[in-house]
Structure 1
């Protein structure tokens, strides 16, 4: 019975990894990058590479933008306030043409040029949790399916490895490729197991209301706003009255919010129904000192500025969910831990990639003898999913530095051109992998090396922020970090390509 159970776990571990490994790699890779999504924003949008504000910023200077949003009948007006990771003020509202984004320099109050990019927070981060597939929440469900598979892989991996701790301390780089790949798979699996399991579990918990909608729909008769009011303490917004209304002083409301929170910094200002007599202003509290995601907010009547209500802390029934969400989003201030997240995220990527490689190495010879095409199909999928994803990401960065501001082509704006570059390059890597199976890994590693290095050099050429300069100014350290990681990735990819180009390796692949 025990052998049968282990065999079933081995089957589950193998085929869950093979079938969903590509999707898992994309999710883990984008999640790893999203650890530094704000820093990627600053690299991709040079106009927001700003030093921290030296004096308090007056929210009243945003009133002209608010009036524009009110005149457009936007349902909301959102202001993201500066933090240590993002010095620019982000303003967002909606009109007939879609959403409008503006970036403000808090030092001068000037509206900055449109970056023309979705960058980290609007492309990489959403890709991580919904793949940019919005129809019928399909993207969320695909990510949820992959997350369940990852949890199954974590559990089954422990079960099928009887000598799990021995495997952790066993790494034989001088052995045959199959043994080397398995050792690397075991080491990264054991090293990152607690993190991989908890980060996957927390990702599922965050979207529980999407994956288990009946839990709140039956209780609240489908009224999402009423559910949010009880779960998160939100004030249920009133509908538009149809009557125009003024807006009280933003600075006065912000000052009152700081008072009730004993001087805490503010995270955002959000106006519902701007320009309407029933507008409500929601001001969020910035609390970077705790792990849990806080939804502390103060609510004001827009026209009068009167405080409606405020809340501090999380309801007990939601405290576990808020902690897991904070653990996953890592919005608290802790740079050392942020780098640990990044490193463990990379171990997850290596774990998935080596799982693919072990499957291929263990079946290559047998499939060749039997005339089966399974290895070739899976190898093309693996190459496109692993090195192909790296190439597409690097191409996304290169396109960002090559396209001038305001660029348009084929009816697409600059941000859309960057995104199309990502997807078309990614698709091309799959075609290349199936067309040149014997050299795909090596050639794509060289491509990663070239594009990553080009991205760092283009940043220098187009902005003047070379490494010496960016390391000299504190507000440019994120730019230096991005360039260093690009150059390090380029070097690692080049070394991998050189190892793959060894005659013994090429001969073995061709023989297979």
Structure 2
């Protein structure tokens, strides 16, 4: 049965369909490429601010001095609802104290040394997490693409029943269409467990806003905090009355005595300088995938218990393991190197998949030179744009317009690819016109 559309309508519909498919492939490629780069998130921070003070450990008394020093320079106390102390770790051996309005590096004595300036690292993280879009839209979109990778991986296996048998077979080593197909299939097989783990966890993280919002609306009357409480614990009641700054020293001392095998790496002060303030310490459990366990303390260091991320329900432990499994934040540098290698391979799979589709069109007598030029420009443009923004960070500083530079450079590389196509066409048409004359 024919719908009876005019030929011009059909042509425009096919063009729109191709453009939409290309946009989806481009975003998928961008997510994979930036995800590979963000594996070195801590290393990028150290590279950005190489003169920040570093240490392997910091004493509880110095942590408390740092908290009090940072709070003393807060411009608007009413806006400071949370304070975070990043303790030194192997990946990032610095102590950084962050509030809702500012962030500072402190030395081993708790003295403020300099503001934290890692805008490029944060730009890169936001680009991967949410494509520089508002969080609810960007993370939902990225999560949907994570689910897309799962579907592509499974459908690719079904469509190629010999894919595992030919896992190490390369029919052609030269740069041609056959070699592209072979490398695409081989890399897809070699990275399959990684791709499934990364895409599933990425979908869970990215779709958090949607799934959490749905649960909050349907089961908790729109209360998002209540919806998350069974997993991440409940917020303590607020009391806005003024009070001295909570003391983190006895809380850290208790951690060292009661949980010597746990490595505290975050101290969170909720509602500082109020009667309702309380302390949470995030502790890393060695040889566990969970990002940590929350240890709750009162303002004077009295222990209130744990949330259960380390020994609670399976759902809690699974939720707490998602982040590290996705970003490779376990096992140290060897795991990071493996994630980078597999991430580059997955990025190549996405890039070659589109080239394979374009080659197939050309063999069928339906070449798409403009689409190929756009795709070639985009594939080469993403790393060029990332390097451009990093150079801007080094030359201009923390205030460089990273978002505008990235997308502007990317648009420029695509435009250059289209201009080269036009130039090549004009050069080819010149001899043809001369022969016709």
TM over 0.5: yes
The residue aligned with 2:11 is: none
Q: 1:49 to 1:123 in 2, by over 3 A?
A: farther
Distance in 1 between the 2:72 and 2:272 partners?
8
Contact 1:379 1:437 in 2 (8 A): no
Alignment equivalent of 2:380, drawn from 378, 387, 392: 387
Q: Distance in 2 between matches of 1:228 and 1:246?
A: 30
- What is the aligned counterpart of 1:61 among 59, 65, 76? 65
- Tell me by how many angstroms 1:16 deviates: 9.2
Residue 85 (structure 1) aligned to one of 81, 84, 91: 91
Match of 1:350 in 2: 348
The residue number in structure 1 matching 2:271 is 273
Q: In the alignment, is the contact (CA less than 8 A) between 1:185 and 1:355 conserved in 2?
A: yes
Q: Work out the CA distance in 2 between the residues paired with 1:257 and 1:439.
A: 68
Per the alignment, residue 421 of structure 2 pairs with 437
Three-state SS of the structure 1 residue aligned to 2:161 is coil
Aligned to 1:462: none
**Equivalent position of 1:182 in the other structure:** 181
- What corresponds to 1:502 in structure 2? none
User: In 1, distance between residues paired with 2:276 and 2:348?
Assistant: 53
Paired with 2:296 and 2:56, the residues of 1 have a C-alpha distance of 28
Report if the CA contact (8 A) 2:139-2:207 is conserved: no
Question: Do the aligned residues in 2 keep the contact of 1:291 with 1:330 (CA within 8 Å)?
Answer: no
Does the 8 Å CA contact 1:293/1:322 hold for their aligned counterparts? yes
Deviation at 1:344, TM superposition (A): 0.5
Q: How does 1:102-251 map to 2 (within 5 A)?
A: 102-106=104-108, 109-114=110-115, 116-120=117-121, 122-134=122-134, 137-175=136-174, 177-212=176-211, 213-232=213-232, 234-241=233-240, 243-251=241-249
Preserved CA contact (<8 Å) 1:34 1:125: yes
Provide the rounded CA distance (Å) in 1 between the counterparts of 2:371 and 2:411.
15
Deviation at 1:343, TM superposition (A): 0.6
**Alignment correspondent of 1:396:** 389
Q: How many residues align?
A: 406
Tell me the equivalent position of 2:402.
418
Residue 294 (structure 2) aligns with: 297
Q: Compared with structure 1, are the counterparts of its residues 57 and 338 closer, same or farther at alpha carbon in structure 2 (3 Å cutoff)?
A: farther
Distance 2:58 2:301 in 1: 28
- Assess if the C-alpha contact under 8 Å between 1:77 and 1:93 holds in 2: yes
Q: What's the TM-score once normalised by structure 2's chain length?
A: 0.84
C-alpha distance in 2, partners of 1:155/1:19?
22
In the aligned structure 1, how far is the partner of 2:400 from the partner of 2:137? 21
Residues 23 and 385, structure 1, Cα contact 8 Å, conserved in 2: no
For structure 2, which runs of at least 5 residues remain unmatched after alignment?
1-17, 433-437
Residues 231, 344 of structure 1: alpha-carbon distance in 2 compared, 3 angstrom cutoff: same
Q: What's the Cα RMSD here?
A: 2.9
1:40 matches 2:44? yes
Please list every run of 5 or more consecutive structure 1 residues that lacks an aligned counterpart in the other structure. Answer: 1-13, 406-413, 441-505
Distance 2:137 2:364 in 1: 37
SS in 2 for 1:284: strand
Q: What CA distance in whole angstroms lies between the structure 1 residues aligned with 2:95 and 2:191? A: 36
Give the TM-score, by structure 1 length.
0.72
How many angstroms does 1:80 deviate by? 1.0
Tell me how far apart the structure 1 counterparts of residues 320 and 374 of structure 2 sit (CA, whole Å): 37
Distance 1:284 1:182, change over 3 A: same
| Cα displacement (A) at 1:176 | 5.8
Q: Identify, as 1 or 2, the structure richer in helix.
A: 1
Where does residue 29 of structure 2 map in the other structure?
25
